[in-house]
């Protein structure tokens, strides 16, 4: 019988663990589990036993533990992001690493639109005003904007970026994009998007959203110099990785109002401490890295992960390789 190790973090809630286990139990595979926090001897034993590993989520695995995975034919991440996983060490041992095949794309795209609306309409502040009876002194919308007829700049037009573009177009937005690979004209026309350089995007954007994987070339992509070139009153959304934007340089721009508002689902340190200055601003809305976290997403991700593991056990090449 083919053997699968389910490796998880302690913070994964029990209902989500049960969902994963149901997929493992109905797969017909022999499985066991361990936590990243377990004793290294136990992790080493289970890695040496396994023929595939399901990481939920993917986190750094000590290189000496990676050496124990001498029977592993696939390391399967249930997330789309992989910057916290040591891909190079897996590649060194000839182990392919796959992500979830874009299972969370729609959920993240919907969340992006949610943050755009919530930030542009100052939802946290106005929710508090309504629930506490603090109606007096509100701005009456003078510091709010709508999405209709605004320019949305998307940096990174992959699976998620394309889903954001489709939904933004439904709001009547003009959608510009930048990506390392430009789409062919037919696909640009189908999506209703126009290509621009990154520099031009920043000067044109009423809304700016990032949909990039974090790596050496994208870290700090939107630094202090680029933030200064932003169109005044831009709304910034980041649901990808915090390190894509220089948050320290962004903070005074949010405080002064040069940047109208921002929405974040990712942070330099996770979990957040509760003392991050910019998160207390009334023009900032934040969620705890849950953009891709919906019941529908989990079912799709697990379906993709289990089918990919089955492919490998059937002697076929795995899909969605990231290393």
Does the active-site annotation cover 311?
A: no
Contact predicate 262/116, CB 8 Å: no
Q: Where are the beta strands (DSSP E) in the chain?
A: 3-8, 30-35, 52-56, 74-77, 97-98, 151-155, 174-178, 193-195, 207-210, 234-238, 259-264, 284-286
Does the active-site annotation cover 270?
A: yes
What is the DSSP secondary-structure string of 101-138?
A: SSTTHHHHHHHHHHHHHHHHTTHHHHHHHHHHT--TT-
Does the active-site annotation cover 149?
A: no
* Catalytic residue, candidates 93, 129, 196, 289: 289
Count Cβ neighbours within 10 Å for each residue of 126-144 and write b for 16 or more, e otherwise: beeeeeeeeeeeeeeeebb
Contact predicate 205/230, CB 8 Å: yes
* Catalytic residue, candidates 9, 199, 270, 277: 270
- Active centre residues (catalytic): 241, 270, 289
């Amino acid at each position: 019988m083919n053997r699968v190790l389910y490796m998880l973090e302690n913070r994964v809630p029990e209902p989500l663990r049960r969902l994963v286990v149901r997929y493992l139990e109905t797969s017909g595979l022999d499985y066991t589990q361990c936590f990243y926090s377990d004793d290294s001897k136990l992790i080493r034993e289970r890695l040496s036993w396994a023929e595939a590993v399901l990481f939920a989520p993917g986190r750094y695995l000590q290189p000496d533990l990676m050496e124990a995975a001498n029977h592993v034919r696939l390391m399967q991440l249930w997330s789309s992001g992989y910057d916290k996983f040591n891909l190079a060490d897996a590649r060194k041992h000839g182990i392919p690493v796959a992500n979830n095949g874009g299972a969370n794309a729609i959920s993240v795209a919907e969340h992006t639109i949610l943050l755009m609306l919530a930030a542009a309409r100052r939802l946290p502040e106005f929710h508090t005003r309504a629930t506490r009876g603090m109606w007096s002194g509100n701005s009456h919308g003078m510091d709010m904007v709508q999405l209709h007829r605004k320019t949305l700049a998307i940096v990174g037009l992959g699976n998620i970026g394309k889903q954001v573009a489709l939904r933004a177009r439904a709001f009547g937005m003009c959608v510009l994009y930048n990506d390392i690979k430009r789409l062919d004209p037919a696909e640009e026309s189908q999506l209703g998007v126009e290509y621009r350089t990154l520099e031009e995007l920043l000067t044109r954007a009423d809304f700016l959203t990032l949909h990039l994987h974090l790596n050496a070339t994208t870290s700090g992509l939107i630094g202090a110099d680029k933030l200064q070139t932003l169109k005044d009153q831009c709304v910034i959304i980041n649901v990808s990785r915090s390190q894509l934007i220089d948050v320290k340089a962004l903070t005074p721009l949010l405080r002064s109002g040069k940047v109208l508002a921002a929405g974040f689902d990712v942070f330099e340190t996770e979990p957040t401490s509760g003392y991050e200055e910019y998160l207390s601003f009334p023009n900032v809305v934040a969620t705890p890295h849950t953009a891709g976290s919906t019941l529908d997403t989990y079912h799709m991700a697990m379906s993709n992960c289990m089918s990919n593991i089955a492919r490998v056990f059937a002697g076929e090449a795995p899909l969605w390789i990231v290393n």
